[in-house]
Structure 1
């Protein structure tokens, strides 16, 4: 982060903008310039950090956690969350009080209105937008009163989809169904998909980096299922690739990867572990079983909107429905106690 500039974004929690401005002031005090991206999803902030040439990014969010929580998520200049080792260095600086003092030169805080448009262009460059638009999909978005309310509906419309949005008002209390989408709290999404004869539904978590999908029959898919489906689709076009996933993901991924002469690398549980493993080996795909999917050609981080675009790209390439594509996957069983 030395010298900056640093890009700062925040989610819709009541305390987020206060924390963001406090961070800007603190960085300015030690001579570092900042730009505010405003209220954006985490992956939007991360992609813009990389694409627009920032020295780093800081997202103020507690992701899927309850409303009373908040947090600070730093990203390096490559647009990927900092490593566990770098997190430990920051904690050590804090607990030993070894922070920087003012050099006498103040930094400045501005704004950057390119962030969202840059994010959209990045996503659209990775999919066949013409084919998606021709299909005129009906899509139901459950943005969960979270940060994807800023971006996902507009992106869906730019891809030519008839877009129906629920829980669309940003609200720090997440009154619609909570900030964590689970198969148990997405009844409204399922019913709206059925009522509107939609092709798919998708639910995002609080900061918009994860997505759970609903097929045209109203069935909520586990994160493993949607990840396997996308992995199969992507590897068919990109054989001899590398997939990174956590130890707790199902074993079906090895079977799929073998079909395209690709390999699977397993990591400890956690998105940081997956992302930071992807970077040095230039992995094409990363995923977690909780709905976090990472497409390396775009950015090696979880991204709910990029995942939505990839699912639409898949459906645009076939005459089959989402449920029919899921049926083509090898049988698997997932159970969770959390």
Structure 2
């Protein structure tokens, strides 16, 4: 009997409400489908701080070993640490249990290839085909996979990051850094890395707690007020906050100002292209015009992609690019690994501050200024496509691009991107302009257009 077909994977793996949309029964079956896809082999499994992480890890491991895979269980670890371990230990691949920025009642499943990069959407479809057709290969009792424990991956990960920055220069600066780990796995690596970079470290929400009592896993201006005020109050040089699995980082300067990912990614682009002129920079259409300006100024080649870390990583691999980034604070530093990595990003920002001998606020002020505003329109999952079809008809006479959703460009260099979320029941809006009022007006105007489209379906 075939299961009812429904797409499982979104922008970043499989996610759902615990014990409603995502259950242990589903996880066991998915585990055996993933094991069948890998044809046995050696896989690492780990999870973030969510209370359901151990439960889903056990279910995935049961499915993997039933399909003949040997599993190396890492337990609690940041996603980029697990990805590095998969590549470093020459594993066949891995499975990471995380819902990243989603609230604690969600969890998810990411499948990683042997190079440490999330599998492609075509490979996701292969796993879904196995799952829905119930074509999992279950091995005989004497061929079952074995579960092992793997230790020390966070230590290896920290050491690897240190190889990609000027340690002596950073250590000599003796920076004071505030780290907001969000009660999740970022607290297992970044505070220790900062100490080894000669920093004085003050931590916030560093205790592991899957209910996320300190703040929600998504780092936003609203959730980072405590960190911003702490940085300013104690005269720290920098603040950094992570999402639930520590692959994204958002920074606060010494004045307590929160800077979204485009601004810090632009600094890293400049830093990278000065040393590597002509290199390709990969970024999704959700990124700011600031990224386009910076790549052009420092003589790089810009490649736009659809939104999603999988697409950015896969494009970097295909194009042999060594730097990618997203507006949400995800930076992909290819010389280390072509995946989002919050700790690596933090080390690069410290290196830039050390090399330039400038505060983060000064570095940001030197950039062309664009103001970013975000919005969302809540809708049912099955309404997204219909709403977007109606919306596109409404805006088709404007200057648009449809790489992913709809991005509308205006003559004054402002822009708005409207696209369905790949992980949640909503349509997201990202607006940018030379002033906040124009960006807010764009969000308001096009949110109303989406809501109007919703009434017409």
Equivalent residues of 1:2, 1:55 under 8 A apart: no
Written as runs of structure 1 = structure 2, the 5 A alignment for 1:235-254 is 235-254=273-292
Partner in structure 2 of residue 179 of structure 1: 217
In 2, the alpha carbon distance for the partners of 1:83 and 1:234 equals 26
Matched, 1:14 2:51: yes
Aligned residue among 64, 71, 76 for 1:34: 71
Written as runs of structure 1 = structure 2, the 5 A alignment for 1:20-169 is 20-104=57-141, 105-169=143-207
In 1, the alpha carbon distance for the partners of 2:256 and 2:198 equals 22
In 2, the alpha carbon distance for the partners of 1:4 and 1:160 equals 40
Partner in structure 2 of residue 189 of structure 1: 227
Partner in structure 2 of residue 209 of structure 1: 247
Aligned residue among 285, 293, 306 for 2:323: 285
In 1, the alpha carbon distance for the partners of 2:241 and 2:154 equals 20
Partner in structure 1 of residue 450 of structure 2: none
Aligned length, in residue pairs: 338
Partner in structure 1 of residue 21 of structure 2: none
Which deviates the most, 155-164 or 113-122? 113-122
Q: Give the superposition deviation at 1:254.
A: 2.3
In 1, the alpha carbon distance for the partners of 2:88 and 2:365 equals 37
Equivalent residues of 2:74, 2:150 under 8 A apart: yes
Deviation per residue, 1:98-127 (Å, 9 max, x gap): 111224411111111131121111111110
- Tell me, what secondary structure is at the counterpart of 2:107? coil
Equivalent residues of 1:254, 1:263 under 8 A apart: no
Deviation per residue, 1:37-64 (Å, 9 max, x gap): 1200001101111111111011111111
Deviation per residue, 1:296-331 (Å, 9 max, x gap): 111111111110011111111122111001111122
Q: Give the superposition deviation at 1:128.
A: 0.6
Matched, 1:311 2:359: no
Which deviates the most, 75-84 or 104-113? 104-113
In 1, the alpha carbon distance for the partners of 2:225 and 2:67 equals 49
Aligned residue among 302, 314, 327 for 1:276: 314
Equivalent residues of 2:262, 2:291 under 8 A apart: no
Matched, 1:170 2:170: no
In 1, the alpha carbon distance for the partners of 2:358 and 2:196 equals 23
Structure 1 unmatched ranges of 5 or more: none
- Tell me, what secondary structure is at the counterpart of 1:334? strand
In 2, the alpha carbon distance for the partners of 1:322 and 1:261 equals 23
**Bigger relative contact order (CA 8 A; separation at least 6):** 1
In 2, the alpha carbon distance for the partners of 1:287 and 1:2 equals 33
Which deviates the most, 169-178 or 254-263? 254-263
Q: Give the superposition deviation at 1:260.
A: 3.0
In 1, the alpha carbon distance for the partners of 2:299 and 2:271 equals 14
Deviation per residue, 1:141-172 (Å, 9 max, x gap): 00011111111111111111100000111111
Equivalent residues of 1:142, 1:204 under 8 A apart: yes
Equivalent residues of 1:127, 1:310 under 8 A apart: yes
Equivalent residues of 2:43, 2:93 under 8 A apart: yes
Larger Cα Rg: Structure 1 or Structure 2?
2
Which deviates the most, 164-173 or 114-123? 114-123
In 2, the alpha carbon distance for the partners of 1:262 and 1:117 equals 34
Structure 2 unmatched ranges of 5 or more: 1-37, 377-457
TM-score normalised by length of structure 2 = 0.72
Runs of 4+ in 1 over 3 A off after TM superposition: none
Q: Give the superposition deviation at 1:67.
A: 0.7
Equivalent residues of 2:68, 2:138 under 8 A apart: no
Which deviates the most, 210-219 or 21-30? 21-30
CA RMSD between the two structures: 1.1
Matched, 1:218 2:256: yes
